[in-house]
DNA sequence: CCCTGATTCGC
DNA sequence: GCGAATCAGG
């Protein structure tokens, strides 16, 4: 009798990569499925991180090479990002981008009348100049630094060195340090890319 | 915001 | 070896 020596007979192991699972992983990965899709296919006990981790361990990270050899920027060594304590809500000078406003005039449909093609719909595109003050805060709503709390928008407005400096002060929903309006500003324009 | 893979490192 | 946490980019 030949006994298959497998080290996977530890009973009910969770995400133990049995051979058939690994094969399935390879297959799906080669077919171009994303890690999350493969994870879903393998079962709920497998996360996409697990898949990616296994993929890398198997050294099959590169599945499709169109032309060049993945000039993936290798940041060499990382300063051990483990456990970041403070996300750092750096509030700084974030100028407002341009707001593109697109106003379209709805064309009146010709009812009753026969035919008569409608004229080209009028679209007006204009660029609103980047206003210095992004939003107007009534004076009675303006807060100083000491008036801020967990539920006030901490978006700075004005020059900190002058008297007309204040914080937005509007109610911030969740754990967001900003109100809805400024939260979009803070997280959407800057950061993300362009680092 | 969503998503993707890549990497690191405690377990 | 494993994979969560994180990073980095689209």
Encode pLDDT of A71-118 as tens digits: 444 454 445 454 444 444 444 434 443 444 444 444 444 343 444 444
pLDDT at A195: 39
The total of other beta-carbon atoms located within 10 Å of residue A34's CB is: 13
The angle at the Cα of A186, spanning A184 to A192, to the nearest 5 degrees, equals 95
Encode pLDDT of A132-191 as tens digits: 446 778 888 888 888 888 788 788 777 778 888 888 787 777 667 777 777 766 655 443
Domain presence at residue A148: yes
Average pLDDT over residues A5-19: 57
Nearest to A39 by CA among A15, A60, A19: A15
- In this structure, the protein residues whose CB atom falls closer than 7 angstroms to any atom of nucleic acid strand C are A 14-17, 46-47, 49-50, 52-54, 57, 73, 75, 78, 81-84, 192-193, 195
- Look at residues A39, A58, A77 and tell me which one is the last residue of a structural domain: A58
Show which positions of strand B are touched by protein (CB under 7 A): 1, 3-10
- Look at residues A27, A58, A89 and tell me which one is the last residue of a structural domain: A58
Domain presence at residue A160: yes
Task: Tell me how far CA of residue A116 lies from CA of A109, A110, A113, in angstroms.
Answer: 10, 7, 7
Please count the structural domains in chain A: 2
Domain presence at residue A115: no
CA–C1' A36–B4 (A): 9
Encode pLDDT of A22-77 as tens digits: 999 999 999 989 999 999 988 878 999 999 999 999 998 877 554 544 444 445 44
Res. A1 pLDDT band, cuts 50 70 90: low
Q: Which domain holds residue A172?
A: 139-186
The span from the first CA to the last CA of chain A, in angstroms, equals 62
């Amino acid at each position: 009798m030949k006994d298959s020596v497998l080290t996977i007979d530890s009973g009910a192991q969770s995400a133990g990569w049995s051979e058939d699972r690994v094969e399935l992983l390879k297959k799906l990965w080669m077919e171009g499925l994303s890690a999350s899709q493969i994870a879903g296919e393998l079962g709920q006990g497998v996360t996409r991180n697990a898949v990616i981790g296994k993929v890398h361990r198997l050294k099959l990270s590169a599945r499709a090479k169109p032309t060049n050899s993945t000039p993936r920027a290798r940041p060499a060594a990382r300063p051990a990002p483990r456990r970041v304590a403070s996300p750092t809500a750096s509030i700084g000078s974030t100028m407002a981008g341009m707001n593109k406003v697109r106003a379209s005039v709805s064309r009146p449909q010709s009812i009753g009348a026969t035919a008569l093609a409608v004229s080209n719909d009028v679209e007006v595109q204009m660029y609103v100049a980047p206003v210095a003050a992004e939003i107007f805060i009534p004076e009675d709503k303006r807060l100083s630094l000491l008036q801020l709390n967990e539920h006030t928008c901490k978006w700075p407005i004005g020059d900190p060195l002058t008297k007309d400096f204040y914080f937005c002060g509007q109610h911030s929903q969740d754990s967001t340090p900003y109100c809805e309006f400024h939260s979009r500003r803070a997280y959407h324009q800057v950061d993300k890319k362009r680092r």
